[in-house]
Amino acid sequence: MLAANFLANFIAIFIVLRGFLRIAEKWPDQMLTNPIIVWTNMIFTPATFIFVWVMTLYYERPIRTYLNDRFRNRKVSDDLENKARQRLLNEPFILIALDLSMWVLSAVVWATLCWVTGSGSNWIQRALYMSLSTGFITVTLAFFLLEHVLERRLVPFFFPEGGLSAVPKTIRIRISTRLVALLFACNLIPLLSILQIFHRIVGNNQDSSVALNLFSSVLLASSFVFILAGICLTLLVNRSLTLPFGEIIKTLQEVKKGNFKEKIQVTRNDEIGYTGDVINEMSHGLEEREVIKDTFGKYVDKEVGVEILSGKIPFDGEKKDVTILFADLRDFTRLTESIEPKEMVYILNNYFAEMTEAVQQHSGTILRYVGDEIYAVFGAPFSLNHHQSHAVEAALEMNRRLVFVNKELKKQNYGPLKHGIGIHSGSVIAAIIGGRDRLSYDMVGDTVNLASRIQNLTKKFSIDILISGTTKAGLNTGHSLIKLTKTKVKGRKEPVEIYRFT
C-alpha cells in the first residue's frame, strides 16, 4: 500500500511539475535562488513524505501485528483480527486523506512563501494551482491504485471466505463512487487544467501568435499525458468491474449444473461484493440442502424425503388407497442374547439392506424400521396402480432375498433368519405426524393396524407370508393362493379373511 501511494504521488508530481505545466511557464531565477524558498523546499518536501510514511506505518500497526502472528503461527485474538480487517478496508481512504491534506498544506505554504518574498499575485495563484492540481491528481490515482492492490494482494488473504460487507465501521466504495472518480479523473481534471493553462498563457503573453504557438505545444503534451492516464485508469476500472462479474457468471453457471462447491472470491465491500457474498451463501444453502436430502434419504425413503422437502406432502394429511406391508424377524430376542451387539447390528443391517431393495424394487416406500420390524407402504406418497400386486411381488422377492442372506450368514457360522410378512390393503390418512421437534411421514387408520395383526398371525400359522382378502381382491396377476380359516384378531369383532401362498 505504501508503494502504491508513493507511485501515485510520483506520477502526479511528474505530470504537474515535469509535464505540460512547466512548458507553460518557468519559475523566475530570483525565486529559484531565494534562500527561504530553497531551504523550505529542502525541508518541507521530504518532511511531508516522511510524515505520510510514518502515519501510514502507525495506522498499519494492527495489520502488521496480525500478519506477523499469522506468519509465526501464533494465536490471533478476535479483537486484533477485527481491528486489522477494519483498518485494512479503510486504509485507502486514510492514505487519500493524508495525501490531500499534505498537498493542501503545500498549497498554503508555497502560496505564503510567494507572498512573503513579494513574487506577486501571479505566482501566488500558480503555487496554489500547482499544489492543488498535484493533490487532486494524486488522490485520483491513489484511489484506483490502492483499491487494485487491496483487492488483488491483501483482501484474499484477510478475507478468504469473503464477508467484507459484514465488517462494521468501514467505508464502502460503491460502483457510483468509482464512476464519479473516473469521470473526475478523465474529464474534469484535464478540462480544468487546460483552461487554467490557457488563461495563464493568454495573461502572460501579449503577442497572440506566440501565445497560440505556446498553447498548441502545451495542449499537445497535456493531451497525450491525460489520454495515457485516462486509458490506464479506464483499464483499471474496467478490470475491477469485469473480473468479479465474470467470476459471478462462472459460479452461477456451475450452480446451474448442480455444482455448489464453486465459490466467488469476494474482494470488495460494494454492491458487487455483497452480491458475491449472497451467491456464496445461496450455494452453501443449496449444498446443505443436498446433504440434508442425502442424509434424510438414509433415515426415510429418499422419495419421501424429496416430497417433504419440496412441500408436496400436505402437513394436514390426505386420504390414500394403499397396501401396507409389515415384516418381522422371528426369535429376534433370542438372537440378541446369543451374540455380541456388534454382530447383531451387522446381521440386522444386512437383512434390512436386502429387504429394503426388495421393497423399493417394486415401488414400495420404507416408512421406518422398528427394532427388527420393517414397515412399508405401496401407493404413498405417490399413487400407484395395482399397489396390491406390487406389495405381494415385493414380499415374494423378500423371501427370495432371505435365502441369499442366510447363505451368507452360514458362511460366517451364523444361524439362519426367519421372518413373517403381513399384507393388507385399504384406505389410510397419509400425513406428517409428530411433535414440534420431531416429525415423520406415516399412515393412520385401521388398514395399518390390521396389516400389523396379520403379520402377527404368521407366527400362529408358521407361515412366511399372509395377505388379507382385500389385498387378494386387488391382485391383477395370477397367484396360487390358499384360503385359511377366518381368524379373529385383536381389536376386531369380525374374523379376518386371510390367504397364504401355496
pLDDT at 387: 95
The model's confidence at residue 29, banded by pLDDT at 50, 70 and 90, is low
Residue 22 has pLDDT above 50, yes or no: no
Helix H or strand E encompassing 237? helix 208-257
Dihedral sign from CA coordinates of 140, 144, 146, 147: positive
CATH 3.30.70.1230 assigned to domain 315-501? The reply is yes
pLDDT > 60? residue 253? yes
For residue 20, what pLDDT is reported? 44
Going by their DSSP bridges, the two strands 419-434 and 498-501 should be labelled as unpaired
CA distance 315 to 331: 37
Strand partners, 327: 374, 421
- In terms of pLDDT, which residue wins out, 12 or 32? 12
Confidence of residue 23 (pLDDT cuts 50, 70, 90): very low
Sequence ranges of the domains in the chain: 2-256, 315-501
The reported pLDDT for the residue numbered 19 is 47
User: pLDDT by residue (tens digit) across 374-412?
Assistant: 999 999 888 899 999 999 999 999 999 999 999 998 998
Contact 70, 64 (CB under 8 A): no
Does residue 203 have a pLDDT over 70?
Answer: no
CA distance readout (Å), 290 to 260, 267, 285, 438: 9, 28, 9, 20
Distance in angstroms (rounded) separating the CA atoms of residues 457 and 255: 53
Instruction: Report the percentage of the chain scoring pLDDT > 70.
Output: 84
Which of 168-172, 193-197, 228-232, 425-429 is predicted with the least confidence, judged by mean pLDDT? Answer: 193-197
Q: What are the tens digits of pLDDT across the range 283-341?
A: 877 777 776 556 555 445 556 656 665 666 666 778 999 999 999 998 877 777 778 88
Query: Could you give the C-alpha distances from 442 to 23, 366, 379, 432, 434, in angstroms and in order?
Result: 90, 10, 13, 6, 9
Any residues with CB less than 8 A from the CB of 387 and at least 6 apart, and which? 321, 322, 323, 363, 378, 379, 425, 474
Which grid cell is 480? 396360487
Asked whether the predicted pLDDT for residue 157 surpasses 90, the reply is no
- How does residue 24 score in pLDDT terms, banded at 50, 70 and 90? very low
Asked if pLDDT for residue 210 goes beyond 80, the answer is no
